[in-house]
Amino acid sequence: MTPSLRRRVFLAAAVVAGGLLLWGLTGLPDYGVYQGPYGDVLNAVAVGERKATNVVAAVTFDYRGVDTMGEEYILFAAVVGVAIVLRAQRGETEQPPDEDAADRRAPGTSNAVRVLGLALLGPVVLFGIYVVAHGHLSPGGGFQGGVLLATGALLVYLSGEYVTLRRVRPVALIDLAESSGAAGYVAIGLLGLAAGGTFLENVLPLGQPGALLSAGTMPLINLAVGLEVAAGFVLLISEFLEQTLVVRRPGEVT
Amino acid sequence: MIVLEVVVFLLVAAGGTAVVLTRDPLNQAIVASFYGLILGIMFLVFQAPDVALSQITVGAVALPLMIVLALAKVRALAGGRKEDGE
């Protein structure tokens, strides 16, 4: 295909797509107008019914909890997929990457990065725990807090050596945390069935709105999701780092 | 409030265009990270703090990180192959 023909095909497609887009935009509801009853109904009843001050969390972890379970398992499947694709294959041996310029010494991590990284580590982990634990009270929750917690592992890598990260990252424990986080969600759902209700029914005492221990199963589900997401992201980051920093070569198969 | 919303919309438009116009993949990952941050601010301005947090963690941290790590791997592979050919 010549460049001019390609440009003509693109222009024709752009005109058609642009026209359709404009046509669709004219049919959108007016700016700031909310149509549909569910948002208003939930805003009115969620705090009274579920004692969760974060109505978004009440929707994602209670009213539509099954949806969120699917979301959690999407991430779980993605992490397992990456781990399987990037696994060490039979006959591959690990070796440090070749030095591109052996005579030139690469600058090490600067002291500023080291100090800043280590100083941030504590606050970041604490903030991650806070975001996970307060998911039902304020914006945040297991997904966001989990990624924050995993950033802690990244800070260890940035401010130290990859070897340090390998030492502070017990793979068996992380694997266990990831799978128990994923399984925990289902277990909390089965709690509803055991109590004679439906799957993921909020059967625990609801408490007072605004209290840390309130909203029944929501904090527990957030904890399970936070565990799964944090462990999943740590695994993901280490798989990629392993690929980049430790070269695997097909060795002699003996 | 309307002014703030218009400013954020313009920033998002400028950010998206910047991501498309950046040609080098490594630079693009950094620009995409900034774009993720701007999108997060937009969600915050439109009063969706939950979505804003998710957007910032995924769009500004996780996605660029994966791209940068993948690029490092690709470059290491390409470097090794060039050496073998010589």
**DSSP string over B20-71:** HH--SHHHHHHHHHHHHHHHHHHHHHTT-HHHHHHHIIIIIIIHHHHHHHHH
pLDDT at B43: 92
pLDDT at A22: 94
**Position A7 in a domain:** no
**Position A1 in a domain:** no
Q: Which residue has the tokens 């280490």?
A: A238
pLDDT at A23: 94
In this complex, the residue of A57, A97, A240 whose CB is nearest that of residue B76 is: A97
pTM: 0.76
Q: Measured in Å, how far apart are chain A's first and last C-alpha atoms?
A: 50
Does A252 touch chain B if contact means CB atoms closer than 8 Å?
no
**Position A29 in a domain:** no
Contact flag B65-A237 (C-beta cutoff 8 Å): yes
Look up residue A62 and give its two tokens. Answer: 């209670």
Euclidean distance between CA atoms B79 and B74, whole angstroms: 9
Q: How many CA atoms lie within 13 A of A118 on its CB side?
A: 10
Please, are residues B17 and B28 in contact by the beta-carbon 8 Å criterion? no
For A14-162, list the strands marked E by DSSP: 92-95
**Position A187 in a domain:** yes
Give mean pLDDT, residues A57-80.
87
pLDDT at B85: 47
Residue A34: pLDDT band with limits 50, 70, 90:
confident
Residue ranges covered by each domain of chain B: 2-85
Contact flag A244-B72 (C-beta cutoff 8 Å): yes
Euclidean distance between CA atoms A2 and A6, whole angstroms: 6
Contact flag A98-B83 (C-beta cutoff 8 Å): yes
pLDDT at B86: 43
Euclidean distance between CA atoms A178 and A150, whole angstroms: 12
Does A43 touch chain B if contact means CB atoms closer than 8 Å?
no
Number of domains in chain A: 1
**Position A138 in a domain:** yes
Q: Which DSSP helix (H) or strand (E) runs through A145?
A: helix A142-159
- Domain of residue A66 covers 53-99+108-250
pLDDT at A20 over 90: yes
**Position A246 in a domain:** yes
Euclidean distance between CA atoms A108 and A119, whole angstroms: 19
In this complex, the residue of B54, B70, B80 whose CB is nearest that of residue A144 is: B54
**Position A230 in a domain:** yes
How remote is the C-alpha of A131 from its chain's centroid? 13
Euclidean distance between CA atoms A95 and A247, whole angstroms: 5
Query: Shortest CA distance to A242 belongs to which of B29, B33, B20, B76?
Result: B76
Span of A55-64, A193-202, B77-86 with lowest mean pLDDT: B77-86
Distances (CA, A) of A14 to A20, A21, B12, B14, B70: 10, 10, 21, 20, 32
pLDDT at A160 over 80: no
Question: Which of A20-24, A78-82, A217-221, B68-72: highest mean pLDDT?
Answer: A20-24
Give mean pLDDT, residues A74-91.
81
